[in-house]
Amino acid sequence: MSIGSKWTELRKNGLNEKQLSYLLLLPTISIIGMVFFLPIVMSIWYSLHKIDLISPASGQPWVGIQNYVDLVKEARFQNSLRVAFLYIFLTVGGNLLLGLGVALFMNQTFKWRGIARTMILLPWAVAPVISGLMWKWMYNTQFGVFNDILLKLHLVSRPVDWLSSISGTLPAISFSAVWRHTPFVSIIILAGLQTISPELYEAAKVEGASSWRCFFHITLPLIKSVLLIALLFRTVGAFNYSFSLVYVLTGGGPVNTTEVLTLYGYKTLFEFLQFGRGSAIAVVISAIIGMIAFAYIKSIGLKRYV
Amino acid sequence: MRKSFDLKRLLFIIGGILICLFFAFPYYWTVISSIAPESELYQNPATYFPSNPSLEWYKIVLGGSFPRNILNSCIIATSTTIICLVLGSLCAYALSRLKLSISYILLGAILAVRLFPGISIVAPLYMVFRNLGLTNTYLGLIIPYTSFALPLTVWLMTAYFNTIPSQLEDAAKTDGCSPLQAMTKVILPLSLPGFIATCLLIFVMTWSEFFFALIMTYTDKAQTVTVAISQFRGIHEIRWGEMAAGTMFVSFPIILLVVITQKKIISGLTVGAGK
């Protein structure tokens, strides 16, 4: 068939379904391909070279896996990896426990439920980086409200340096992340709770089961998949958002005790201007997230969405 | 009969109040800090109700370059939202309706993109954008934001389209509509609630972004609000009064949105999580 007659056929019948769907998919696929998958491949390529933007004259020689070998041996990299996982453990743990509590609370019927829901959603409306700044002000040693409250309640005898102690700063940062990200977790868990039929609880009550037994034998098993989704989403989110919080709260200090992997990667790229080495860190981060994402996709199963 | 004293109920109320206080207090504190004059802001012990509230910090913030940053954020977030809604919903429609063999792979890829952090693609994008002269421009942020928000759009809209029975289009086709007409005249109007929820989530996500904005912009020509607020610095310390006032400007519109549309946002968040 000639192009001309194909065109007439198109004008007459419109696109058929298959042609239409590929046309609809094309813009999204090309954007994601060019602005996501291509840069990932380029990051891997950069990570196999020595690229120092400080001395452009030295060129960009191929170094193979040298950047990765250097990283693995480096104490600062090992530290940032450890800090990142500790941060994730504290933040996500706090998110899930508090999120479950909040969801159970919101699942009750009471008078001011609408107002309570709005108040609980407030942190979600604040950009993560700005929530970091708000908490930095509250943690302020001299004028911060945190110390003020603790002093008034006689829980501490003198102001605490929240953001400059070796062991206490990372938990303090995680605490602010718990505040910012728990609303999301509780909303997901609440949605899970609302799918449980009340008849189940009634039946259990008739048979004399206590509230605790109901919780462990009905509620928890039925929201298991929702909890898993929240866990994986938050793990990835904690990894990704750790940058903005730590960047504004401490910048990685004191003595790198809060320098998470994303922050170290950022510094290597845009402060030390070592693009080869920085890209190697970016690839390591991508690999870690990739593994978590794979676990996530496996666990929820894509079939029901397609 | 109701008992006069119910311990369980009392515990429930106290717990509820504590939870609400925990989530709302930091925001209350920011409001207080933004209207406290300097003498009360830097005062020990802290003031919980400023005795001489003033709008001094707001005036200082508005007198600087901050209005320009707000404009930048508005333009960037709005453009990203529009681009994503148009392109993403088309893609979502194809995935939801026109059964393709590659849908499965595509949806997996799209979900994966949603989970990756900015740092995995930032180095090459920065190099390319610098060569193209796109750093410190609106486009330099709209492009990466689109690639991060598109997967979310596709994910949410696919879920919404899936809730609309396909018999509706079949009926339209029987009446002589082409597949394209069936989509634009029957399905799109029906998925308006989905569009609104998606729109809100993309806007908030783009408005709040910090990592790319920090790297790609360096003057007020394109710098967004999140970067501007994080750089309200004096010689040693962040200027807290200005930070608080700036935070109010940036968060208040979003909070208003949340209050008005919380049901839609909640439905979007739960679908977005893949429930």
Q: Complex ipTM, two decimals? A: 0.89
What residues of chain A, 169 to 198, have a C-beta less than 8 Å from chain B?
Answer: 179, 182-184, 187-188, 191-192
Per cent of chain B over pLDDT 70 is: 96
The answer on pLDDT for B6 being more than 60 is yes
Lowest-confidence segment of A264-268, B85-89, B252-256 by average pLDDT: B252-256
Q: CB count, 10 Å around CB of A4?
A: 8
What pLDDT, on a 0 to 100 scale, did the predictor assign at position A263?
Answer: 96
Q: Which helix (H) or strand (E) holds A302?
A: none
Distance in angstroms (rounded) separating the CA atoms of residues A237 and A247: 16
Residues A289, B46: C-beta atoms closer than 8 Å: no
For A175, the closest chain B residue by CA position comes to B22
As a whole number, the mean pLDDT across chain B is 87
What pLDDT, on a 0 to 100 scale, did the predictor assign at position B83?
Answer: 97
Residues A127, B30: C-beta atoms closer than 8 Å: no
- The string of DSSP letters for chain B reads ---S--HHHHHHHHHHHHHHHHHHHHHHHHHHHHHS-HHHHT-SSPPSS-SS---HHHHHHHHTTHHHHHHHHHHHHHHHHHHHHHHHHHHHHHHHHS--TTHHHHHHHHHHHHHS-THHHHHHHHHHHHHHT-TTSHHHHHHHHHHHHHHHHHHHHHHHHHTS-THHHHHHHHTT--HHHIIIIIIHHHTHHHHHHHHHHHHHHHHT--HHHHHH--STTT--HHHHHHT-B-SSSB-HHHHHHHHHHHHHHHHHHHHHHHHHHHHHHHHHTT-
What pLDDT, on a 0 to 100 scale, did the predictor assign at position B238?
Answer: 81
What pLDDT, on a 0 to 100 scale, did the predictor assign at position A136?
Answer: 94
- A-chain CB neighbours of B70 within 8 Å are none
How many angstroms separate the CA of residue B114 from the nearest CA in chain A? 9
| Phi/psi at B274 (5° precision) | 85, 30
- Side-chain half-sphere of A275: how many Cα atoms within 13 Å? 23
For A297, the closest chain B residue by CA position comes to B108
Residues B247, A130: C-beta atoms closer than 8 Å: yes
Greater confidence (B171 vs A87) lies with: A87
What pLDDT, on a 0 to 100 scale, did the predictor assign at position B69?
Answer: 95
What pLDDT, on a 0 to 100 scale, did the predictor assign at position B1?
Answer: 45
What residues of chain A, 63 to 82, have a C-beta less than 8 Å from chain B?
Answer: none
What pLDDT, on a 0 to 100 scale, did the predictor assign at position B259?
Answer: 82
The per-residue pLDDT for range B190-222, each reduced to its tens digit, is: 888 888 889 988 999 999 999 999 999 999 999
What pLDDT, on a 0 to 100 scale, did the predictor assign at position B270?
Answer: 75
- A-chain CB neighbours of B231 within 8 Å are none
Nearest by CB: B230 against A46, A126, A129: A129
Residues B23, A129: C-beta atoms closer than 8 Å: no
> Is A230 in the B-facing interface, judged by CB distances under 8 Å?
yes
Report how many Cβ contacts below 8 Å link chain A to chain B: 286
What pLDDT, on a 0 to 100 scale, did the predictor assign at position A273?
Answer: 94
The answer on pLDDT for B115 being more than 50 is yes
- A-chain CB neighbours of B93 within 8 Å are 24
Total residue count of chain B as it appears in this document: 275
What pLDDT, on a 0 to 100 scale, did the predictor assign at position B234?
Answer: 63
Residues A24, B247: C-beta atoms closer than 8 Å: no
Rounded average pLDDT over B138-160:
92
What pLDDT, on a 0 to 100 scale, did the predictor assign at position A70?
Answer: 94
- A-chain CB neighbours of B254 within 8 Å are 125-126
Each residue's pLDDT, cut to its tens digit, for chain A (306 residues) gives: 456 666 666 666 666 777 888 888 999 999 999 999 999 999 999 999 999 988 878 888 999 899 999 999 999 999 999 999 999 999 999 999 999 999 999 988 888 888 888 888 889 889 999 999 999 999 998 889 999 999 999 998 888 899 988 889 999 999 999 999 999 999 889 988 988 888 888 888 888 888 888 888 889 888 888 888 888 889 999 998 899 999 999 999 898 999 999 999 999 999 999 999 999 999 999 999 988 878 777 776 655 443
Closest CA to A123 of B258, B98, B79, B236: B258
What pLDDT, on a 0 to 100 scale, did the predictor assign at position B224?
Answer: 95
Nearest by CB: B87 against A27, A226, A292: A27
Residues B95, A120: C-beta atoms closer than 8 Å: no
| Type of residue numbered A77 | F
The answer on pLDDT for B33 being more than 80 is yes
For the entire predicted model, the pTM comes to: 0.90
What pLDDT, on a 0 to 100 scale, did the predictor assign at position A117?
Answer: 86
Nearest by CB: B30 against A17, A134, A265: A134
Query: Which residue, among B47, B210, B224, would best test binding to A if mutated, counting the most A CBs under 10 Å from its CB?
Result: B210
What pLDDT, on a 0 to 100 scale, did the predictor assign at position A305?
Answer: 44
Lowest-confidence segment of A9-13, A221-225, B16-20, B52-56 by average pLDDT: A9-13
What pLDDT, on a 0 to 100 scale, did the predictor assign at position A5?
Answer: 65
Residues A243, B45: C-beta atoms closer than 8 Å: no
